[in-house]
Amino acid sequence: MRSKLPHIGTTIFTIMSKMAQEEGAINLSQGFPGFGADPELLDMVAKYTKAGYNQYAPMSGIPSLREKMAEKTLRCYGAKVNPETEVSIVSGATEAIFSSITAMIHPGDEAIILEPAYDSYEPAILLSGGIPIRVPLNSSDFSVDWERVKNSITFKTKLIVINSPHNPSGYVWTQDDLDQLAELVRERNIYVVSDEVYEHITFDGRPHLSLVGHEELRQKSFVCGSFGKTFHVTGWKLGYCIAPEKLTEEFRKIHQYVTFSSVTFLQYTLAEYLEKPERYESIPGFYQEKRDLFLTGLKDTGLEFQATQGSFFQTASYGHLSKIGDRELAEKMTKELKVACIPVSSFYHNQKDDKIIRFCFAKENSDLEEALVRLKNLGELFKK
């Protein structure tokens, strides 16, 4: 049998979570919350499943959830979208990204991804016969090197995949970033897949600038989001895609043969839950407290870092302390310190190792505090 993805193995997130479990380590590796969701949300799940909302939902999502998403998009980003023709509910941002890329990429098309990059973009490009063109972000702060992006565009470029707030670095795009992107795609046959799963997790008053709020970019963009990330229920695998009508038509042609539709009672639950905007507007404050708690302790570990701007990830570098590879360090930390993290080299196609590790701080404060106590002994690992 000839593999369609010969170079792709098990993701690092699965590997590190498994190791954390086997070693009894505090798992600050994979990006999922270590605390429960709002009990009100869970009560609604019970209500809607008992009420019989257990058969197939409409292919594009139930109307009331699409309408709520249109209201939320207007409220958060000042953008009016048509819930009927521009909003689709799908099985997680992973599906939204996969279906968007599949809808756009034909064999031989080039798609630009900015590295370090979340791992689901490249396989989707490859499966459609596309060619991933990897452009590195600036190594100092993970901002976009616009000159390099521009120089990577050819007559074959069809798509640019972007991600803000960024996983793993937490970099949040500025208005200038959006304007630079708009200039690049203007008058070119280039579209954008915008992974915005951390849209509600930004810090220090920094706004998330969605592409749907940019008059020009929204005409050419698939904006992909995740209810799982926003409401601490990653296991629900429910997400959405907002795109102009013509793009949505193509998107739905793929979606209907990937999953057809997504869990019905969860859609009803979310439609009701979204009635109160404070439920998503309180999220930045909630996570900022966790970020600040984590950073206060991280200062005593010897690691170097800049406070993350968004997402629930914090990166830290250790190159000034040791030359050990980041994968080896992550493994040692899990086995000896009992704290698991993710080596950032796994976000590069060539495993480029800049001696940076990523922590997820979406955990109970008590777990974060205990992890910080253990991390104070990090220096001991480097002596061995």
Counting contacts by CB under 6 A, is residue 28 touching ligand PLP? no
Pick one of 157, 226, 230, 269: the residue that binds ligand PLP (CB under 6 A): 226
Contact string 43-82 vs ligand PLP (x = CB under 6 A): ----------------------------------------
Counting contacts by CB under 6 A, is residue 118 touching ligand PLP? yes
Q: Number of helices (H) and strands (E), helices first, in the chain?
A: 15, 12
Asked if 133 contacts 126 with a C-beta cutoff of 8 angstroms, the reply is no
Q: Which is nearer to ligand PLP, 118 or 280 (CB)?
A: 118
Q: Which is nearer to ligand PLP, 225 or 284 (CB)?
A: 225
Asked if 381 contacts 325 with a C-beta cutoff of 8 angstroms, the reply is no
Please identify, among the stretches 233-241, 250-258, 316-324, 346-354, the one whose residues bind ligand PLP according to the rule CB under 6 A.
Answer: 233-241
Strands, E assignment, 45-96: 87-90
Q: What is the DSSP track for 36-55?
A: PPPHHHHHHHHHHHHTT--S
Residue 325 burial (CB count, 10 A): 14
Give the CA radius of gyration of the chain.
21
- Closest distance to ligand PLP from the beta carbon of 124 (Å): 11
Q: Which is nearer to ligand PLP, 248 or 262 (CB)?
A: 262
Please identify, among the stretches 45-53, 92-100, 211-219, 296-304, the one whose residues bind ligand PLP according to the rule CB under 6 A.
Answer: 92-100
Please identify, among the stretches 42-50, 88-96, 241-249, 251-259, the one whose residues bind ligand PLP according to the rule CB under 6 A.
Answer: 88-96
Counting contacts by CB under 6 A, is residue 222 touching ligand PLP? no
Q: How far apart are CA 329 and CA 161, in angstroms?
A: 30
Half-sphere exposure of 157 (CA within 13 A, CB side): 23
Counting contacts by CB under 6 A, is residue 195 touching ligand PLP? yes
Angle (nearest 5°) at CA 333 between 367 and 285 = 35
Counting contacts by CB under 6 A, is residue 267 touching ligand PLP? no
Counting contacts by CB under 6 A, is residue 124 touching ligand PLP? no
Counting contacts by CB under 6 A, is residue 308 touching ligand PLP? no
Strands, E assignment, 179-328: 191-195, 221-226, 239-242, 313-317
Pick one of 33, 61, 83, 92: the residue that binds ligand PLP (CB under 6 A): 92
Q: Which is nearer to ligand PLP, 228 or 284 (CB)?
A: 228
Angle between helices 365-375 and 283-298 (to 10 degrees): 20
Pick one of 163, 230, 315, 334: the residue that binds ligand PLP (CB under 6 A): 163
- Within 8 A by CB and 6+ apart from 224, the residues are 93, 96, 97, 100, 193, 194, 195, 196, 197, 239, 240, 241
Q: Which is nearer to ligand PLP, 12 or 316 (CB)?
A: 12
What is the three-class DSSP state of 132? Answer: strand
Element (H, E) at 131: strand 131-136
Pick one of 102, 128, 164, 167: the residue that binds ligand PLP (CB under 6 A): 167
Counting contacts by CB under 6 A, is residue 346 touching ligand PLP? no
Asked if 181 contacts 157 with a C-beta cutoff of 8 angstroms, the reply is no
Q: How far apart are CA 104 and CA 362, in angstroms?
A: 34
Counting contacts by CB under 6 A, is residue 234 touching ligand PLP? yes
Contact string 93-112 vs ligand PLP (x = CB under 6 A): xx------------------
- Closest distance to ligand PLP from the beta carbon of 186 (Å): 26
- Closest distance to ligand PLP from the beta carbon of 197 (Å): 4
Pick one of 69, 197, 243, 381: the residue that binds ligand PLP (CB under 6 A): 197
In the complex, the residues that contact ligand PLP under the rule CB under 6 A are 31, 92-94, 118, 163, 167, 195, 197, 226, 228-229, 234, 237, 239
